[in-house]
Structures are given as C-alpha cells and as structure tokens.
Homo-oligomer: A and B are copies of this chain.
Amino acid sequence: MRSKITLKELAKILNVSVSTVSKSLNDSPEISPQTVKRVKELAQLHNYRPNPIAVNLKRSRTGNIAVIVPNISNTFFAKVLGGVENEARKQGFQVITYISNESLDHEQQITELISAGIVDGLLISVSEETQKLQDYEHLHLLMEYEIPVVLFDRINMDIGIDAVGVNDRGSIYEAVTFLHSQNLKKIALVCGLGEIGLGKQRIEGFTDACKDLGLSTDDKYILASKDIPEVKQKLNKLLVEDRVEAIIGLDYLSTLLASRVVQENNIRIPEDVKIIGYVNEDFASYLWPSISYVDQHPVEMGEQATAMLVKRIKEPSVKTPARVILNTEIRHLDSTRSK
C-alpha cells in the first residue's frame, strides 16, 4: 500500500536538501561519495523510482512514440509492431499504438490528438483511403509542430518524409527468377486485390522479369481481378489446358485459391506446380502443403523505422528525408521443394 515516495520525502528523512538527493541519485560528481551512498541506500530501501511524468516535463520530452497501423487483422502489421516494440525498448521509449482502420478521417483524429504533445514522434503506415486521396496534410502539420514522422511499408509516394519499406518490384522479380532457374517456363500471377498500389508495382515487376528472362508475357498469365469465381475459373483453365508450372499469389486469398485449385485437379505440389505467395510466415507454414512465401521482414521493418525515428528525435536539425528499402527474400517451404 506504500504510495510512491518522492524526492522531497527522501530528503526530509535524510535531513538534506532535495537537490542533494536528486544529484546523488543521478551520480553527480558534485556530491560526496558518502552522501551518495546514504541517499542511494535509502532510495533502494524505499524502492524509490523517479516520477517519469515529472522528469519528462522537466526535460520537455515525453519518452513515447506513436505508431499508427491501418489494421490489425493482418499479422503483417502485428509483426511490424513487434519490431517497433523491440527497438523502442532498447532506446528507452514507450510505444503508444493506434489503429486507423484504413480511414483517413480516423487517421486525422489521431494525429490531431498526438499533436498536443503526447509523443515525441510518429511511425505510420498510411490508410488505404489516405493513399487513394493523397491527402498527407495532417502528417506535414505534425512535422511543423516538430514532431518527426517516419512512414513504413506503404511508402509509394513522394512526400518528403522519412520512410522504410521493401522493394516490391524487386521481390517479385526475384520470385520469377527463382522459378525460371528451376526450368519452369509457364508462370501465372494471381491477384485478388484492388487499389492498394503495391499490386501495380508487383505486376510491373512480374512483367519486366518475364520479359528479361524470355518468358511469355501473354496477358492470360496474369489473373488480376476482384471477381474470385472468375479468377478461379481462369486459373483452372490455365492449369488444365496450358499446364502452367508455377503460380505466384499476390495476397492471402489468391495464394490459398491457387493451392486449392491445383489440388482439386489432382495436380501435385510441388512436383507438378510450384507456388510462391505473398503471405505471412505463420499462415504459410500452417497450410498443407505449406506455401513458400516472400518474407517482407516485418520485424526488421519495425525496428529500422523506429531507429530512424529515434534518430530524428535526437537530431531534429537534419532536413533531408531518409529512405530505407529492405530486400525481401523467398522462404522455401513445401510448395517449392525440388523434385
């Protein structure tokens, strides 16, 4: 029940001034070793902890960083959050989490809230809506208030803000190159997504890779539509009539769909068809057969973004925006094993 003891109370017990106690605990060379010892012993005894609120007020910092993720149903962002946690702890910051639910409005409310001075900096992966409307004023406003901002993952825009992401074009290029190296010629791309920008980048990368490697770039190999039954039917045809040898799934649904359709046709994975998907580690490895996936290093992304933000917080003077692009890697599970 002992309520927290304060500097003042310690000082009173020891019959010294508050300044002396404060300095002793902060190992100031001004204070005699004996006094330091006495003070520290008593502090230990009472389990004294400086009130962080008071310390922060004095230092005019908060010790917090905010992170806004667009959604949390996706384990990708959960993992990024884990990385943010790691690095923040190391650097002595607490992480305050917000979820924008893919809404610009919500995002603006959050930035408005934190502009009051709750945090020393912000990590954000902008919402779909924000990205679509290209409205980044709330972020610039924050920076005007001298609260540094670092973008992560969704960074396909040029708005002069620090950013950490992955090389989306490169990642699929690598996937195609790998499949090609396995002597696979007919590679299909399946995508059930819409707007998000990443889709486009990946499709471009796919086409480029096919061109460069001398593979067919026939449109029929690219199944991109939100109409799942249609995609399914077309994929079916590709498998049976065209004897497609590999499939790249750009998202959860299409990867799962691909695995499914292949098996319905009694085609073997990976012997007859190989699959690589843009899915998360957990998901990929839980499936049977497990699906080889593109590792986008979410944890590292969170760590790097946090490190970048902390650097900004500590050196607010630097002006040119930084940009870190992580290289993705293919993690091979059942669906790409060699025969």
Residues on A close to B: CB < 8 A? 1-4, 49-54, 56-57, 62, 64, 72-73, 75, 78-79, 81-82, 85, 94-99, 115-118, 144-146, 252-253, 256-257, 260, 282-283, 286-288
Are A54 and B57 neighbours in the complex by a CB distance under 8 Å?
A: yes
Contacts of A118 in B (CB 8 A): 52, 94
B257 touches A49 (CB 8 A): no
Interface of A, helix, strand, loop or mixed by DSSP: mixed
Q: Is the CB of A286 within 8 A of B73?
A: no
B residues within 8 A CB of A57?
51, 53-54, 57
B52 touching A253, Cβ below 8 Å: no
Residues of chain B within 8 A of A73, CB atoms compared: 75, 78-79, 282
Q: Which 4 A-B pairs have the closest CB atoms?
A: A49-B116, A72-B78, A260-B288, A97-B97
- Residues of B close to A260: CB separation below 8 A: 288
| Contact, CB under 8 Å: B96 / A253 | no
Q: In the complex the two chains form, is B52's CB within 8 Å of A117's CB?
A: yes
Task: A256 to B64: give the CA distance in the assembly, Å.
Answer: 40
Contact of A78 (CB < 8 Å), options: B49, B78, B256:
B78
Nearest CB in chain B: distance from A112 CB, A: 9
CB pair B53–A117 under 8 Å, yes or no, is yes
